[in-house]
Amino acid sequence: GQNIDQPTEMTATEGAIVQINCTYQTSGFNGLFWYQQHAGEAPTFLSYNVLDGLEEKGRFSSFLSRSKGYSYLLLKELQMKDSASYLCAVSPNQAGTALIFGKGTTLSVSS
């Protein structure tokens, strides 16, 4: 079957660094996405990894290990506005672009 696991909730303080892990077991693999979703809003794209390694984009970085079925999203210099849900999603095949989403990790940043 298809399964994506990520922690339900995490807390952190302003200025800190937080790592959100995601493990996946899917029938195929054609890339892993991270999305951010603020309460009451639509998900917005953060990052995409298809090859092993680290992709850095400003304060956010995403890492992928295909052999381990593992990814993480690293958020540096946390700000209050980073309080949101972070969704890990996998594209399982090339035939279509449908994604399988994890249930999301709700991150609360406090001052």
Partner 1 sequence: TAGITQAPTSQILAAGRSMTLRCTQDMRHNAMYWYRQDLGLGLRLIHYSNTAGTTGKGEVPDGYSVSRANTDDFPLTLASAVPSQTSVYFCASSEQLGLAGSGEQFFGPGTRLTVL
Distance CA 97, CA 76 (A): 30
Nearer to partner 1, 16 or 50 (CB): 50
- In the complex, what is the shortest distance from the CB of residue 16 to partner 1, in angstroms, rounded to a whole number? 26
Q: Which parts of 12-41 interact with partner 1 (CB under 8 A)?
A: 30-31, 33, 41
- ∠ Cα 28 34 90 (to 5°): 10
Distance CA 2, CA 90 (A): 10
Binding site for partner 1 (CB under 8 A): 30-31, 33, 41-45, 48, 50, 87, 89, 91, 94-104
